[in-house]
Amino acid sequence: MLVRLPTSVSEAQQCLAEGAVPIGGASLVWATWQRDGFPELAVSLRQVPEANVIGHGTLGAAVVLHRIDDTVPEVLRRAAATVGTGAVRRTATVGGNIVGSTLRCLLPAALVLDARATVLEPDGVHEADLAEVVAKRPLLLGIHWQDPLASGYRKLAAEAGGPPPFVVAAAVHADGAGRRLLRVAVRDGYEVLSASTPGDEGTGPALDALERTDIGALHAQDRDAVREVVTDVLHRAAAA
């Protein structure tokens, strides 16, 4: 297997045109490739500047999870900090998590930020929404978003060998007209659900509105976690 390390988006595009398979930290693919055989050509974005940014409102796909710091909103930082073990976080990348993993702990966080994706396809760079990225698995260059007023994340404890732990992410955003919007996303098993409701009518009405969405059908202990995270985020947004 040859691993290409392009230093620009146009070089990466050329690699895709040659049929290269994306590779992040190889924390997932290595075992699969050892079992099923290695591809002839792989492409890593490790040396592409656009895929390595960590800035206000932007996160590159080649960023290794343990590098994610407090320049990104709390919801994303906490999501990254709770992925696997320290060894996994020192290896796994944002792109490998959002596009390539089945757990995708970063996805609920990115959804409540209303993040958009920048993807590279053989014909060039495009904007895409996260649902499209998950469905079509293009080469992800990075994600970008408008910073929220407040955000939060919680992953419940899970039994070893059981279903994935329940995850809840929430963020309160201000729109240009002075209104506030609360976005909530949860991972229940391998399924990700999201909902939004006005964020400036008080905690009670926001929680009641969420109960009328798919979130209201979750198990009682998961709904308790949603209530705790939402209450905390609305409280902090009110003080912002």
Ligand X SMILES: Cc1cc2nc3c(=O)[nH]c(=O)nc-3n(C[C@H](O)[C@H](O)[C@H](O)COP(=O)(O)OP(=O)(O)OC[C@H]3O[C@@H](n4cnc5c(N)ncnc54)[C@H](O)[C@@H]3O)c2cc1C
Contact residues toward ligand X (CB under 6 A) are 21-29, 45, 61, 83-85, 88, 91-93, 95-97, 99-101, 103-105, 137, 139-140
Q: Which is nearer to ligand X, 143 or 172 (CB)?
A: 143
83 contact partners, CB below 8 Å, separation of at least 6 = 65, 89, 92, 97, 103, 105, 106
In the complex, least distance from residue 4 CB atom to ligand X, rounded to whole angstroms:
13
Q: Which is nearer to ligand X, 57 or 84 (CB)?
A: 84
In the complex, least distance from residue 25 CB atom to ligand X, rounded to whole angstroms:
3
In the complex, least distance from residue 160 CB atom to ligand X, rounded to whole angstroms:
11
In the complex, least distance from residue 204 CB atom to ligand X, rounded to whole angstroms:
33
Output the residue with the shortest Cβ distance to ligand X: 100
Q: Which is nearer to ligand X, 9 or 149 (CB)?
A: 9
Tokens of 179: 């209104």
Q: What whole-number distance in Å separates Cα of residue 222 and Cα of residue 131? A: 23
Q: Which is nearer to ligand X, 107 or 229 (CB)?
A: 107
Helices vs. strands in the chain: H and E counts, helices first: 9, 12
* Mode of pairing for the β-strands spanning 41-44 and 2-4: parallel
Matching residue, tokens 């955003």: 173
Quote the DSSP letter at residue 93.
Answer: B
In the complex, least distance from residue 131 CB atom to ligand X, rounded to whole angstroms:
15
How crowded is residue 189: how many other Cβ atoms within 10 Å of its Cβ? 8
Tokens of 33: 């490739």
Q: Which is nearer to ligand X, 109 or 150 (CB)?
A: 109
Q: Which is nearer to ligand X, 137 or 235 (CB)?
A: 137
Q: Which is nearer to ligand X, 130 or 182 (CB)?
A: 130
Quote the DSSP letter at residue 66.
Answer: G
Question: CB–CB of 41/15 below 8 Å?
Answer: yes
- Helices 203-211 and 220-239: crossing angle in degrees, nearest 10, is 150
In the complex, least distance from residue 45 CB atom to ligand X, rounded to whole angstroms:
6
In the complex, least distance from residue 64 CB atom to ligand X, rounded to whole angstroms:
8
Question: CB–CB of 29/1 below 8 Å?
Answer: no
Question: CB–CB of 184/222 below 8 Å?
Answer: no
